[in-house]
Every structure is written in C-alpha cells, then in structure tokens.
Structure 1
C-alpha cells in the first residue's frame, strides 16, 4: 500500500507528490523500506502511474541515500527528503556532506525540515532545494522568523506542511511561503500497488548472467522466457522516474540502454519485491509460448527486427489477464510501436494475424487456423513445427 499526497503552489497547482509507505508502521522506516517503496512505485502495474511526471518527494534514511537503487531513477524528477540527525554536533553533519553533495551533483534535489536552519546544519543549508515547515510543531511567530532567515541564507523554496485551514494558507502566503501540503488541499490517496511477479528462478538466472557479464544475446534469451520479467523491464524503461523518452521496440534495446550495472541492481531489487506479486504462472507460460511461436513464424517472411516485434506482441498478448485490467489500460504502462499496439488492441495488421493464428493453435479452432494460415501464406507443416519448437524452447526455463 502506497499513499501519495500532493504538494501545491500558491495557485493550488500540483508541483509534486510525496510518497508514503502505508504497508508498515512509522517505526519501521529503514533503508530497506525506502528501496522497496521506490522500486514498487516505479514498477506498479495498476491503472494509475504513481510516479507520474511531477516532482516525486521521497523520505529517505541516511543509509538509503547511499543506495545503488537511486541509479535507477531520473534524478531531475526526484526530491530526496533528508532526515535530521537529531541533536548533533556540527562535525557529525559535516561528515554526511560528501554523500549529500554527490547527490546534488548527480541532479537530485534535496529537501530538509526546519532544523536545517539551525547552526549545527550550516553546511547543509546551501544544498537545500526545499525546506519543510511543519505547522504542528512551529508557532506562527516562529514561522515568520524562520521564513525570513531562510530567505536571507538559502535559495530553498519553503513548503508548509500539515496545512488544514484557509486561515493558515493566507497567513503563510503573506509571510512568503510558496508551496503547501496538507489536508486542506488533499488527503493522501492510498493505492494498493500491483506487481507482475516473474518466476524467481528466472530472476536468479538473470542475476548470475549479469554477474559474469554475459553477452546481450544470453541476457535477452532469459528475458524472453518470462513474461513477468519482460514486462517489468519494459515498465521500468518507460517509467517517467527512469527518464527514457525514446521508443523501445525490443528487449535487446532495453538491455543496451540499461547497461549491465543498472540491470544487475534492478534484478536484485526485483528478486526482493517479487514475493509480493500474485500472477498465475500458467498465464505467463502461455504468453511466452505465443511470443516464441509468432517470432518463429514471422522469421519465415520477415526480417529479424520485425520478428522481434512479433515476439513482443505474443508475450504481451495476455497482459490484461496478468494484471486484471483492460488491455488498453495495460498498454498505457509501456511504450510500444503502433503496429504492436494495433495488433494487441484490434488484431490488426500482420502481427494481429499472427496473434490470431497463435490463439487458434491454443484453442484448436480449425476455421481460424486455416484462415490465418492462408492470409499469412504459411503451411500447416511450418506452423506445427514452429509450435513444437516454441513449446520446447519455453520448457527449457525449468531445466
């Protein structure tokens, strides 16, 4: 369960959202929960995109600020909310500076609470992009002093939190606060997150290949044999939080864009998160067979690149069943070529005809089989042989 609460400007336009993990008690905030929260938000397979295109504010422990999972994020869209250290000497705050500076250099924005205005945190203050002022712990006379001090000594935007009345909003505007968060604007909206969980054996196999820096061909082979694994990678690549704007048409492209280091971090996180998924293994198995069958048949009369798109159609042809949402909504989660989308939604084009043929092979619908075979100019012998090869290829994943 993840909650998302809006942060708005003086015109009440949303500029970002703060994410909260509602699956744990407040006392259980650890580096591990930070990692799972972000990974789940980016991989969420429901109708609503939790990450979106606005700024994403994420409360972070100091341990998680050094985590490799941040390499999977588009830093331009992420604001890391840095916890205070408590009553500390200035030397302890200075010791954390290298990590904070490194995050800023990589493009992340940093947010602190009002304690960053204390002298012990003087070295942190120049790094602040945002400073949060909690109305439940600060009196009105304190607010005016802190706002004035922040304006003189930093370039940070101030965010008033726990705003619950129009009177508070008017007061805060009058003293120079420009951003707001609280029940008066919106309550946290809770989303029950959905993950399409791959077979854990597939993830482990992928991790082992990445550890020995296997070839792109070997890595692609594993991705193509698990529909959940393939979808999760395409979902991440297409996430606004990852920051890729280009159209990805094959798993090979996805592997090359990610690189082995990021792929390894992603696979390790996916292995941890996969236990939360509830996808039927049989659906994914059928999707993989479809994809391979369509690819083999496409190779009879298409280029290798076009055949790869035929595979994508097949392996994603059961996304609606895997995610329990309509296909049109499922396809909003990933960026695919128009020809692939038309085949999945309307069974149009040559890929749509190949998909109908694959479905006919599963259902033993002779009329549909004969029609599609005729349109594609494929013989029964070609189709049956390709189907046997697809079944054998898919079964190799369990060996």
Structure 2
C-alpha cells in the first residue's frame, strides 16, 4: 500500500544522495586523461569491500558518466576483497583503472595467491595501477601487470624518486603518475626525470559531484534475487521489475550507460533482462541489496508510477501489440521520475535512454503514448473533461478504461501487501 507520514501526507520518495569526489590526472600538456574517484558520502556506510565497487556503478550509471568523467579513464581505489566478489563483471572494463593496494605484510605466498585474480582482471581488459611498492622485489610477479605506477611525492624523497623512476622505466611498461604534486618545483623535478602524468593540488583539488539515487524496496530486490537463483523465466523477472519503479529505473539506467558497453539502446525490461543474463542480473541485485538501507513497500509516488504503468500497458493491449504495450508501461512507470529524483523531467530523462516516442509522451504529452499518459493522469485526478478527450482520441470506452484501472490498482496493491 502507499506509505504516508505521521501527519497523513504522502511520504517523500526514498532517494539517497551519493557524494563523489573526482580529482583530475593530467598529462604533460595539462590535458585531463582521467579522474580518480573518492566516495565522500557522509551518510553512506563505512568502507567495505562492496563500497569500492558500488562507487564504480554510481560513476558509470547513476551519476551519469558523461557529466562525471566524460570519455576519460576512471581510477578507483580497491580492496583485495572487492576484486573477488564478481560485481566487476557488470562493468565495461575499457575505461576503468583499478588501483590495487599493497599487502599489509608482504609474503611471497600471499603475493602468489592474489596473482590469478589480478591477471584475470587484466585479461578481461581492466587497467591496473599500483603504488611504488610494486617495484619492490617481493612484488616482482605483479610488476608485468602494471599499466600505471603512482609515485606519492609526500612519501618519497627526491633521490628515492630518481631511483624508482629509473628502475620502473627499465623493468616495466607502466606509465608513471606523480601524485600529490603541490608545487611548481615538484612538477619540474619529476618532469625532468621523464614522468608524463600528474595528479595533485597544483593542478586541481578534488571536486564534489552529487548523484541522486532511487532506492528500491528490499522486498523487491530479494524477490528478484530469489527468481534469478531459481532460474525463473524472463516474464517472471520482468514482472518484479514492473512492480518497483526504483528497481526499474536503476536497471535501465545501468544497462544503457556507456559503462555497460552495449552498442544499441535498450528500451524495454524484457530486452534488459535477456541481454543482461541471469548471472549479471544476480550480481547487480546482490549489490543493490548490500547498499539498500530500508525495507518496506514503495512510496506513494512509486506506487502511483506502478499503477500508471500497468494501466497504460493494459489499455495499449486493447489495440496494439506487446512491444507497444511494453513502451506504454515504461512511459507510465517513468512518468514520476521528476518527483522521485527531485528534478525537472527533462533533466531526469537525461539520465536514461528512452525512445523518441516515449520522450515525446513524457515531455510534451504527444503521440499515442502521450494520450495514454493523459488518460492515466485523468483517472487519478477525476478530471472528467481530460478523461473524455483522451478516451475519444484513443477510441476507448469508459468500461474498458475503468476495468483496466481497477485491474491496475489491484495488481499494484497486491504487490504492496
């Protein structure tokens, strides 16, 4: 059922704000080649193995990759635990640099134990970055995997730097990055030794970027995980997505992000499920579960979106095929994005890839989908004039509309019980 506050007014949409800091990494011409990302969410969970990977997903999908990093490389700090959870299988590796930490107590066996994981990540296409400790003899097995080696100017004396740079150039193919460059003198010094990449306050301080995220209900996520683990049909999985606007938004946003690496736009839940596959879908749902904070039924806004989507789908099926009905559902469930995200609809749609007909319906009420949306809104507001106009345009009877509306309400309420 719809949730309300103690005063009886509708509950606000359940959204989280992710605070991500990015700091530029530049070349000798001071052109930005990538950004290192840091999790700066004060209200977020304490650092765990999952938060590193969650940061990647936020950057690649929810925050909007083009606004956050454009076509540049993304450098992300990792723990060794976060590298083996399998969630990285959801990420297109081409633009991601995983910063691998040294081991606390160096032992040859531990270095060897981590080697297969690192080698597999690099074989998949991820770039790997290490700090200067990878140049120690204990890490000799890791050195050939290094695409980047970061040299911390706050830790290394000039004479140490000269030795390490010379050794790295002779024994690896890695690009060297001087980090924590804070003065022109430091920049000139490392440049004179041939370092070509730089990071630090002298170039740019970390800049904060806010990303609003819709949190799906934990009950929906758990239901999705159960279905996937039981290898349920695409139709059954699609039903769960249709019943939680937050879940649907997050999936469509991720699968259409540049970070997911698909060549064509995905416009329906069925397509998303089939292209993602059960294995990736399970890992995505598991990650959502680890980062969700509260359980319960959808907010009143989310509930309205679900009813709209189902109503528009049922009405579309009266005269159109299943593909058009799928699009009608997408328009209905995303028609509340502005309220859920607290931003204008045009801005919210910028976070998604929707077909032109859906965009025209959501922004301007145009086309058959726009008329269906107008009709759905008229059903909510009891606007008889708008109801009659839309019904006439769509050639639907009051009996058809009222019957579909009751079915949609019952369908959404059954989920919220």
TM-score range (shorter-chain normalised) is over 0.9
Picking from 88, 102, 126, the partner of 1:84 is 102
Partner of 2:256: 238
Q: CA deviation at 1:192?
A: 4.0
Does residue 66 in structure 1 map to residue 84 in structure 2?
yes
| In 1, Cα distance between equivalents of 2:75 and 2:270 | 32
Does residue 106 in structure 1 map to residue 111 in structure 2?
no
Partner of 1:256: 274
The Cα offsets for residues 276-299 of structure 1, whole Å up to 9 and x where unpaired, read as 799971101000111111111111
Asked whether the equivalents of residues 34 and 74 of structure 2 are also in contact (C-alpha less than 8 Å), the reply is yes
| In 2, Cα distance between equivalents of 1:33 and 1:236 | 17
Does residue 137 in structure 1 map to residue 155 in structure 2?
yes
| In 2, Cα distance between equivalents of 1:268 and 1:30 | 15
Residues 200/278 of structure 1: CA separation in 2 closer, same or farther (3 Å cut): closer
The Cα offsets for residues 191-234 of structure 1, whole Å up to 9 and x where unpaired, read as 34422011221111111111111000000011011111100110
Asked whether the equivalents of residues 4 and 188 of structure 1 are also in contact (C-alpha less than 8 Å), the reply is yes
Moved over 6 A (4+): 276-280
Q: CA deviation at 1:142?
A: 2.0
| In 1, Cα distance between equivalents of 2:400 and 2:39 | 52
| In 2, Cα distance between equivalents of 1:95 and 1:297 | 58
Partner of 1:121: 139
Residues 336/387 of structure 1: CA separation in 2 closer, same or farther (3 Å cut): same
TM-score, scaled to structure 2: 0.90
Asked whether the equivalents of residues 195 and 276 of structure 1 are also in contact (C-alpha less than 8 Å), the reply is no
TM-score, scaled to structure 1: 0.94
Asked whether the equivalents of residues 197 and 229 of structure 1 are also in contact (C-alpha less than 8 Å), the reply is yes
Q: CA deviation at 1:29?
A: 4.3
Partner of 1:6: 24
State the structure with bigger RCO (CA 8 A, min sep 6), 1 or 2: 2
Asked whether the equivalents of residues 16 and 54 of structure 1 are also in contact (C-alpha less than 8 Å), the reply is yes
Does residue 301 in structure 1 map to residue 319 in structure 2?
yes
Q: CA deviation at 1:358?
A: 0.9
| In 2, Cα distance between equivalents of 1:64 and 1:136 | 27
| In 1, Cα distance between equivalents of 2:269 and 2:375 | 23
Picking from 228, 240, 243, the partner of 1:225 is 243
Does residue 347 in structure 1 map to residue 395 in structure 2?
no
| In 1, Cα distance between equivalents of 2:257 and 2:394 | 35
| In 2, Cα distance between equivalents of 1:314 and 1:68 | 34
Asked whether the equivalents of residues 218 and 295 of structure 2 are also in contact (C-alpha less than 8 Å), the reply is no
Partner of 2:385: 367
| In 2, Cα distance between equivalents of 1:278 and 1:154 | 53
Partner of 1:188: 206
| In 1, Cα distance between equivalents of 2:304 and 2:47 | 39
| In 1, Cα distance between equivalents of 2:127 and 2:273 | 28
| In 2, Cα distance between equivalents of 1:236 and 1:364 | 36
| In 1, Cα distance between equivalents of 2:294 and 2:125 | 31
Which shows bigger deviation, 95-104 or 188-197?
188-197
Q: CA deviation at 1:34?
A: 2.0
Partner of 1:326: 344
Asked whether the equivalents of residues 150 and 156 of structure 1 are also in contact (C-alpha less than 8 Å), the reply is yes
Partner of 1:17: 35
| In 2, Cα distance between equivalents of 1:46 and 1:355 | 27
Partner of 1:266: 284
| In 1, Cα distance between equivalents of 2:116 and 2:42 | 30
Partner of 1:288: 306
Does residue 96 in structure 1 map to residue 114 in structure 2?
yes
Asked whether the equivalents of residues 234 and 270 of structure 2 are also in contact (C-alpha less than 8 Å), the reply is yes
| In 1, Cα distance between equivalents of 2:108 and 2:362 | 59
State the superposition RMSD in angstroms.
2.2
Q: Which runs of 5+ in 1 are unaligned?
A: none
Q: Which runs of 5+ in 2 are unaligned?
A: 1-18
Asked whether the equivalents of residues 80 and 109 of structure 1 are also in contact (C-alpha less than 8 Å), the reply is yes
